[in-house]
Amino acid sequence: MIERTAEKYILKNLRLEQVINAVLVYCETNNYSFAAWRSPKSEEIKLMIDFSAGSPTDQIELENLGEGFILSPFNISSKKLFLKNDILITWSKDASFEINTSDKTEDLLNYLNTEQKKEESISPILDISMDSQSHGDYTDLVQKSIEAIQDSVFTKVVPSRKFEIALNTKAQSGAYFLELSKLYANAFVSITYTPEFGQWMGATPELLISTEKQIFRTIALAGTQSYDENKPLSEVAWTQKEIEEQALVSRYIINCFKKIRLREFEEIGPKTVKAGNLIHLKTEYVVDMKETNFHELGSTMLNLLHPTSAVCGMPLETSYDFLKKNEGYDRELFSGFLGSINFNNQSHLYVNLRCMKIEDEKITLFAGAGVTEDSIPEKEWLETEMKMKTLLNVISKN
């Protein structure tokens, strides 16, 4: 059922999973771009369409962009992609959709109406086969990282690996998104499609930068353990290696503040936080942009922080060069950043972790682990295994 007012349409009796799948096909067919997201601790889901392939840009200046969504690869030299808000669909917990009006709204509604009438034919069991990067390759890379640290090349580096799942039935993107939203209430859950990057989905716990009501926030998140529901977070013990790893990320942020001569910031933490099936150490940094007279702090810190030491290493230049030379694959959007900007004068961008790339015949998962001089290769391998379970558990259920 469709209700129409001067400014918006209200759709009822449509399932969110169905709308996500239909909008994805609609955008893929027309070479449009698409982003859907659910913010941490929120029940509202937004679906946004850009009637283009997106706008490439070298530098992000939040203050000069309109409402939209940003996608940035890990690679420093790659262009970021800005998706503008041409149509916004907002799903509320009463299961209704609001769609703002544009010159292409009718075309989208006709497409959704056609898709709704189609008989769905979904296999209840996803037929998959897995092709993981070999255990030996990754532990060798970690050992090489440790030796570089011992040779004073850098103090920390974050080698990553990928894990490919071959599909024999179509990936159920809408179902994956709903399951991630249900399981990971504290994460930023998103699904995006652009002609350049393809389709990506994830549930990341790591805020890169946030600006809201003249307040800037960023976090240092590092150290990883498996979550034990029988142990209170206040009783979790951290090793010296994990504490030092998190301290390096905090130091990286403070060094960025020093570069711009910003001294007035609040530091909260570190404290233990839960992120799905894992726990991490987190420190939050807060700046009042009005009091410091630094209204462009969001854009300034965004361009300073990426890629953070939590996904690359310290110092940035030498760890980045090491990873580009030794990882053996292109991370693409993994460990880049993404998020919504300038909706209600708020921007929230996240490091793209716990994510996967979805293609016609395969899904690729990604994970990395922070390596310091005290690292043990086998433990770092197990950490990547734990991180990938965030998405493996979702795929196996659908």
Domain boundaries, the chain: 2-117, 128-397
**pTM of this structure:** 0.92
Please say whether the beta carbons of 374 and 244 come within 8 A: yes
Classify 348 as helix, strand or coil: strand
337 neighbors 350 (Cβ within 8 angstroms): yes
On whether the CB atoms of residues 101 and 134 are closer than 8 A, the answer is no
Euclidean distance between CA atoms 349 and 337, whole angstroms: 7
Interacting residues of 392 by C-beta distance below 8 A, sequence separation 6+ = 365
Contacts of 252 (CB under 8 A, 6+ apart): 220, 305, 308, 309, 310, 314
Cα distance between the two ends of the chain: 28
Torsion on CA atoms 193, 205, 251, 285, rounded to nearest 10: 100
Per the listing, tokens 């939209």 go with 68
How far apart are the C-alpha atoms of 175 and 398, rounded to whole Å?
7
Nearest Cα to 374, choosing from 251, 226, 247, 234? Answer: 247
| CATH topology assigned to domain 128-397 | Anthranilate synthase (3.60.120)
Q: How far apart are CA 97 and CA 10, in angstroms?
A: 5
* Sign of the dihedral defined by the CA atoms of residues 174, 177, 179, 182, in that order: negative
> Would you write out the chain's pLDDT as a tens digit for each of its 398 residues?
456 655 666 666 678 888 899 999 999 999 999 999 999 999 899 999 999 999 999 989 998 999 999 999 999 999 999 999 999 999 877 666 788 767 788 888 888 877 665 545 444 344 555 555 689 999 999 999 999 999 999 999 999 999 998 887 788 899 999 999 999 999 999 999 999 999 999 999 999 999 999 999 999 999 889 999 889 998 999 999 999 999 999 999 999 999 999 999 999 999 999 987 889 999 999 999 999 999 999 999 999 999 999 999 999 999 999 999 999 999 999 999 999 999 999 999 999 999 999 998 899 999 999 999 999 999 999 999 999 988 988 887 76
Question: Do 187 and 207 form a contact (C-beta atoms < 8 A)?
Answer: no
CA distance 34 to 20: 10
Q: Is 53 exposed, middle or buried (0-12, 13-18, 19+ CB in 10 A)?
A: middle
